[in-house]
Amino acid sequence: MARQLPYLSIEAVDKTFARGGAGNNVLRDVSLSIDKGEYVSIIGHSGCGKSTLLNIIAGLTPATTGAVLLEDREVNAPGPERAVVFQNHSLLPWLTVYDNVRLAVDKVFAARKSRGERHDWTLHVLELVHMAHARDRRPAEISGGMKQRVGIARALAMEPKILLLDEPFGALDALTRAHLQDQVMQIHAALGNTMIMITHDVDEAVLLSDRIVMMTNGPSATIGEILAVPLARPRRRLELVADPAYIRAREAVLKFLYERHAFIDAA
């Protein structure tokens, strides 16, 4: 029986940045397989190379050694099948909400969808993030949470195989953050996208993820532990507060991070 290949495979990735003749090794021997439709969070202290790893998966930064394979094809450049949502939404301020998303739609689907189909698809993804009502507003006229929803819509508009989230809720207040987390769970359930998220927030990682990848401290960071989160979906945050599986997962991540943090203090 033929072995089934992983959907996304990170294989022995190292990353060293050269500065002034010296090398700064950020990542060392990072290997990870991710299934189609899986939600994976990557967590760790600042400087552990989380964003560097995400950029390598996105094709924005080349690995020094090792490889990233998506459906057994090597990732070596950016592509619409791997859409990135950054902490800073990066919307174009002179364009409306609709036009910011339509820009991505036209870029990816100009040869495959008619003008009318591209219009309908733009409205559809805005409705997915509950932003169709603000389609004619410009970024200066909407809140930070609404801007981030538009950023997510723009990424989804490309119909990516993998959605890469780099601390997408980090700059938001607690209530807005909670609402967006709930929306991302709804989108994941509806579309079945593979999602990889960078976060510093333990509760966020446990709430959203199927697995949590915990990185060791940098330099030369690598995967320290991988925790499966055995919580059924859909997940409701208020019900999870007292759930024993949720509590155990949260404690396991905190224990890992606290022990690594203690190591830094002692060094």
- Where residue 50 falls among pLDDT bands split at 50, 70, 90? very high
pLDDT at 123: 96
Q: pLDDT per residue over 60-85, tens digit each? A: 999 999 999 999 999 999 999 999 99
Extents of the domains making up the chain:
89-159
**Does 261 have pLDDT greater than 70?**
no
Q: pLDDT per residue over 82-109, tens digit each? A: 999 987 778 999 999 999 999 999 999 9
The CA distance from 164 to 8, in Å, is 12
Which is more confidently placed, 245 or 241?
245
Average pLDDT over residues 209-232: 95
159: left (phi over 0), alpha (psi -120 to 50) or beta: left
pLDDT at 267: 40
pLDDT at 174: 87
Average pLDDT over the chain, rounded to an integer: 91
3-state secondary structure 34-90: ECCCCEEEEECCCCCCHHHHHHHHHCCCCCCEEEEEECCEECCCCCCCEEEECCCCC
Average pLDDT over residues 222-231: 96
Average pLDDT over residues 207-236: 94
Residue type, 6: P
- Where residue 241 falls among pLDDT bands split at 50, 70, 90? confident
Q: pLDDT per residue over 162-173, tens digit each? A: 999 999 888 788
pLDDT at 266: 42
The proportion of the chain whose per-residue pLDDT surpasses 90, expressed as a percent, equals: 77
Q: Is pTM, for the whole model, over 0.95?
A: no
The secondary element (H helix, E strand) that includes residue 261 is helix 244-266
Q: pLDDT per residue over 169-197, tens digit each? A: 887 888 888 989 999 999 999 999 999 99
Which is more confidently placed, 264 or 47?
47
**Residue 15: φ, ψ to 5°:** -140, 120
Beta strands in 75-142 (DSSP E): 82-85
pLDDT at 3: 60
